[in-house]
Chains A and B, each alone.
Chain A
């Protein structure tokens, strides 16, 4: 079974630029999550999708972050404009359904200069 796919693995941009991350969940997984993990901390949920609908985006900085999951499969997370404090690893995870164990992709390490 293929795992959660994410790209790119690494991204370096300057502040105020924009960036986008892509995620393809495990086949058949209805729930998709985006997390932000800052060094030394646990992952923090940014947004959760159930199929193609948003069920929680309470911790997503909506003035600069956006995410979509068209057709209930792939998802993209965008940051525009980036700030220095956005430097982190962005993790995508998926699960069969809500409250089921989540499986993570390799993540995208974002560095803001």
Chain B
């Protein structure tokens, strides 16, 4: 079992729709959760982080965390073609050495 799992996609949504990106993690002791956006040929860019159960909103982005289900998601409202990128979920695991572990990413395609 991978430490952080994401569906590789692509996830295709029309412009203006809500894109829902999901991530599960295996270490129940994990405390910190991050979403990075990576455009093709570019480096990862931090867009959201969440530490507590529940929702955290920032503009068109909402991160949701459910520690009991070991599940974290990212919602993008009013999706734009410029949101087309790979979204990486990353988790600082709680056991052993606390390092950031990335999923393989979900590719999002927003069509005009």
Contact = CB atoms under 8 A, between A and B. Distances in A.
Interface stretch (B12-20, B42-50, B71-79): B42-50
A99 B100 CA distance: 8
Interface of A: 33, 40-45, 48, 55-56, 58, 89, 91, 98-99, 101-107
B99 interface: yes
Given A42-B104, A42-B105, A99-B92, A104 B99 contact: no
8 contacts: A42-B102, A43-B88, A45-B101, A99-B98, A102-B34, A104-B36, A104-B43, A105-B43
Contacts of B42: 106
Which of the listed residues B46, B92, B100, B104 has the most CB atoms from chain A within 10 Å of its own CB? B100
Contacts of B103: 42
B99 A41 contact: no
Contacts of A42: 4, 88, 90, 102-105
Give the size category of B's interface with A.
20 to 34
B99 A56 contact: yes
Given A42-B103, A43-B102, A107-B43, A101 B97 contact: no
Contacts of A101: 34, 46, 49
B18 to A, nearest CB: 24
A101 B49 CA distance: 7
Interface of B: 4, 31-32, 34, 36, 42-46, 49, 88, 90, 92, 97-105
Nearest to A59: B99
B100 A91 contact: no
A98 B46 CA distance: 16
Contact of B45 (A40, A41, A44, A104): A104
A60 to B, nearest CB: 12
B31 to A, nearest CB: 8
